[in-house]
Structure 1
Amino acid sequence: MKGVWKNRDMSNDSCNLPLDTDTIGLTCIYSLIFSLGLPSNLLSLWGLYHLGRSSGGGCQLVYILNLLLSDLLQLLTLPLWIIYLQSAHRWPYGRLTCELVGYVFYVNIYASVMFLCLIALDRCLAIVYPLSSRRVRTIRVAAVSGVAVWTLTFLFSLSGLLPTVFDPDRLLCLEHYPVSPSYARFKITTVALGFLLPCTILGYTSAHIGVTLRRSPSLSDHERHKIVGILVLITVNFMVVFGPYHLVCGYRFVSLLLTDEPCGLERSIFLIHRICYGLTSLNTLLDPLFYIFLCSDARTELQKSLPCLGRGQNPPKKITLENESSPRRPDGESNRAQ
C-alpha cells in the first residue's frame, strides 16, 4: 500500500502506458454515438416541447426533458474528445477548456443516472400509489428535484475532479496514471452512489410495479406486458451502458489502494477501462429510443410538427404521457396524478 502513495506523482512516461491503443475504438464509438445521438435527441426534445404545449405534460415530462438535456450536453463534448484522441492524447485547448469539458462530461453522466432513477420512482408512484402520490407528483416538485440533481452532481463531481482534470506536463485531460489516493477513493464513492444505489432503486421500483400489475384486474395482458417490458428495457439499458464501466472502475481503484505495483495494474487494465469509459456515452443514443420513441403521444406530436415523418401513416390515438403506462380504474378512467 505504501508503494501507491510513494509513486502517486509518477509521470505517465514512467508507467509506459499504451495511450494509442484506445484511439481507433473510442473514435469509432464517439463518432457513431454523435452522428446518431444528436439528431435523435433533437427530435425527441422537439416532440416533447410540442407535447408540453398541447397537453401540459406533467412531472414525468420534466424529468425526461432534463434527461435529454443532459444527453445533449454530453453529446456536444464528443467532437472534442475525438480531436483529443486523434492528437495522441494531447489536449490542445488549455486547462480551462479541459476542466469545463471534463466537468460537463462527468456531471451529465451522473445527472442522467439520477434522472433515470427519478423517472422510475415517478412510474412507481403513479402505478402503485396513484391517488396518494398526487401531492408529490407535481410539476413544481419535479422542477425542484431537477435543480437539486444538477446542483448535487455538479458539486460532487467538482469535489473529485478539481485536482486531477488536467496534466500540464503531458497535456492529458481527465487522465492520470497512476491516480492519487484521494481520486481513487472518490471514484469508489461514485461506483457506490452512481451505480450500486441506482441499481437498487431501479430493481426495487421494477419489482414493486410488477407485483402491483399482477394484482390489477383492470389491465389487459397486453398492457401489463408492455409496462413490464419497458421497465425491463430501462433496467437492462442502465446495466449494459453503465455496468461495465463501474465494475471495472471498482476493481481498478480498489486494487490501486492495495497494490505496490500501480503502474503494472494501470497497464493491464488500461484498454478495457478506456473502452468501458467510452461506452457510457451510449446512454445518449438509447435514451431517446426507450423514453421518447416508445411513447405514441410523443410520436404524434412529432408527426404534427414535422408532417414528413408521418406521411402515409394514420396518426396514432392521442394519449398523454402521464397516463400511458398507468393502470386504469375499474370504471375505465386512468389514474392521472399531476
Structure 2
Amino acid sequence: MESNLTKCPSIDNFRNQVYSTSYSLITLLGFVGNGFALLVLFRSYRQSTPFHVYMINLALSDLLCVMTLPLRVLYYVRQGRWYQGDFLCRISSYLLYVNLYCSIYFMTAMSITRFLAIVYPVRNLQLVTVNRARAVCVGIWLFSSLSSSSFLMSGQTFDKATNTTKCFEPPQTSGKYLKKLQTLNYVALVVGFILPFLVILICYAGIVRTLLSRNLVANRQQNSAARAIRMIAVVLLTFLTSFMPYHVQRTLHLSFLARQDTTCSERVAMQKSVVVTLSLAAANSCFDPLLYFFSGEGFRSRLSSLRRTVRASSTSQVKPKPVTTSEAGENHHVECS
C-alpha cells in the first residue's frame, strides 16, 4: 500500500484540456441560448406571469456565470497561469457558485408554481402573483449571494515552485481547515441540494398524480399537462446531470482527503472526477434554455410574436409606391390584404 505522502503523477494536462474545452462550449451555448431567451422574454414583458419572472431571473443568472467562463478558458489554455488580477479571480469563482445555487432555487420556485397551478388551480390565483414572484427572486438572489460569499475570501496565489500566479486552485486542506470545509459542505449539501430536490420531487409526484386522476378533455388542459411533463423532464435532467454528480463528488472528495491510506491511483481518479463534475455543474447554463422553450408558459407564442414584430418592422421600412385615384379602386383588394 502506497503512503499518502507518495508523489503522484500530475493531472494538469487532463485538467487543462477538459476545462478549456468544456468551458468554451458552455460559454458559446450558454451565451447564445440564454441571450436569445432574454431577448424574447424582455420583448414580451407586458405579458408577465410569475413563471415568466422566474425564467428571466434564471436566464440572467446563467448569463452572469457564462460571462466569467472565458477567464477560466484563458487560464487553462495558458497551462495554469493567471494574469487578470486578484479581483477577477475572486469574482469569477464567486459568480460560478452564485449561479449554481440560484439555478437550483429558481427551478424549485418554478416547480412549486407549476404544482400550485395544476393541483390547486383556484388557490393558485390568490397565492401566486407577479409581485410575490419578484419578492421570491430578490430573496433567492440575496440568499445565494450571501451564502456563496466565502468564495470571495480566496483569490489568486503565487506558486513559488513554478514562479507563476495561480487561480481556481483547490485550497490547502489539513487539520481544522478541512473539518471547517466538511461542515460547510454538509450545510450546503442539505440546504442547497437535498431540500430543494426533495421539494421538487414532491411537487412532481403531486403533478403526475393529479394529471393521471383527471380526464383532460379541453385543449387548454392538455397543453398545461404537456408543459408540466416537459418541465419535469428538463429539471430532472439538469439535477441528475449537473447538480447531483457535483454535490455527491464534493462530499466524497472531502471525506477522501481526511483518509491516510489512499493510493496514487485513487487520488488521481478522485482529482479527475473533480474536473468532470465541476464541468457538468457549470453546464447547467446550457440546460436552462431547454426549460424556457419546452415548458415555459407561452414562450413559443412569445417567440412567434417576436418574429411577426420583426417581420412587420422590416416590411414597413419598404415604402409603398404612391397610388393615384384612378388606381385606388382597381387595387383596393391589395390594400385590404
TM-score bracket, normalised by the shorter chain, equals: 0.7 to 0.9
Take 1:294 and 1:92, find their aligned partners in 2: how far apart are those partners? 42
1:48 is displaced (CA, Å) by: 1.0
Q: Which has the larger radius of gyration?
A: 2
1:17 is displaced (CA, Å) by: 4.0
1:155 is displaced (CA, Å) by: 0.9
Matched ranges for 1:122-271 at <5 A: 122-158=113-149, 160-169=150-159, 171-176=165-170, 178-179=172-173, 180-181=177-178, 182-219=180-217, 223=223, 224=225, 227-257=228-258, 259-260=259-260, 266-271=267-272
Match of 1:30 among 20, 23, 28: 23
Q: Which segments of 5 or more consecutive residues in structure 1 lack a partner in the other structure?
A: 8-12, 312-338
Distance of aligned partners of 1:308 and 1:131 in 2 relative to their CA distance in 1, 3 Å threshold: closer
Distance of aligned partners of 1:88 and 1:188 in 2 relative to their CA distance in 1, 3 Å threshold: farther
| Greater shift in the superposed pair: 20-29 or 121-130 | 20-29
May I ask how many residue pairs the two structures share in their alignment?
298
TM-score (norm 2): 0.79
Distance of aligned partners of 1:46 and 1:135 in 2 relative to their CA distance in 1, 3 Å threshold: same
Conservation of the 8 A alpha-carbon contact between 2:230 and 2:294: no
Distance of aligned partners of 1:153 and 1:262 in 2 relative to their CA distance in 1, 3 Å threshold: farther
1:229 is displaced (CA, Å) by: 3.8
1:141 is displaced (CA, Å) by: 1.2
Number of the residue aligned with 1:319: none
TM-superposition CA deviations, 1:272-309 (whole Å, max 9, x none): 21111011122211111122355473233333334599
Take 1:149 and 1:178, find their aligned partners in 2: how far apart are those partners? 31
Distance of aligned partners of 1:174 and 1:25 in 2 relative to their CA distance in 1, 3 Å threshold: closer
Match of 1:121 among 109, 112, 126: 112
Q: Does 1:91 align with 2:82?
A: yes
Take 2:226 and 2:18, find their aligned partners in 1: how far apart are those partners? 37
| Greater shift in the superposed pair: 177-186 or 245-254 | 177-186
1:177 is displaced (CA, Å) by: 5.0
Structure whose residues are more often helix by fraction? 2
Take 1:136 and 1:296, find their aligned partners in 2: how far apart are those partners? 18
Q: Does 1:47 align with 2:40?
A: yes
Take 1:234 and 1:183, find their aligned partners in 2: how far apart are those partners? 28
SS of structure 1 residue aligned to 2:117: helix
Number of the residue aligned with 1:286: 287
TM-superposition CA deviations, 1:4-56 (whole Å, max 9, x none): 9xx9xxxxx97764223111122221112222221221111111112222x2x
Distance of aligned partners of 1:157 and 1:266 in 2 relative to their CA distance in 1, 3 Å threshold: farther
Q: Percent identity?
A: 26
Number of the residue aligned with 2:325: none
Matched ranges for 1:50-65 at <5 A: 50-53=43-46, 55=47, 57-65=48-56
Number of the residue aligned with 1:329: none
Alignment RMSD: 2.9
1:270 is displaced (CA, Å) by: 0.9
Distance of aligned partners of 1:229 and 1:105 in 2 relative to their CA distance in 1, 3 Å threshold: closer
Conservation of the 8 A alpha-carbon contact between 2:118 and 2:207: yes
Take 1:242 and 1:144, find their aligned partners in 2: how far apart are those partners? 25
Number of the residue aligned with 2:322: none
Conservation of the 8 A alpha-carbon contact between 1:23 and 1:86: yes
Conservation of the 8 A alpha-carbon contact between 1:95 and 1:166: yes
Conservation of the 8 A alpha-carbon contact between 2:18 and 2:275: no
Take 1:60 and 1:87, find their aligned partners in 2: how far apart are those partners? 42
Take 2:156 and 2:39, find their aligned partners in 1: how far apart are those partners? 36
TM-score (norm 1): 0.79
Take 2:191 and 2:157, find their aligned partners in 1: how far apart are those partners? 27
Q: Does 1:104 align with 2:104?
A: no
Q: Which segments of 5 or more consecutive residues in structure 2 lack a partner in the other structure?
A: 313-337
The residue identity in structure 1 corresponding to 2:169 is E
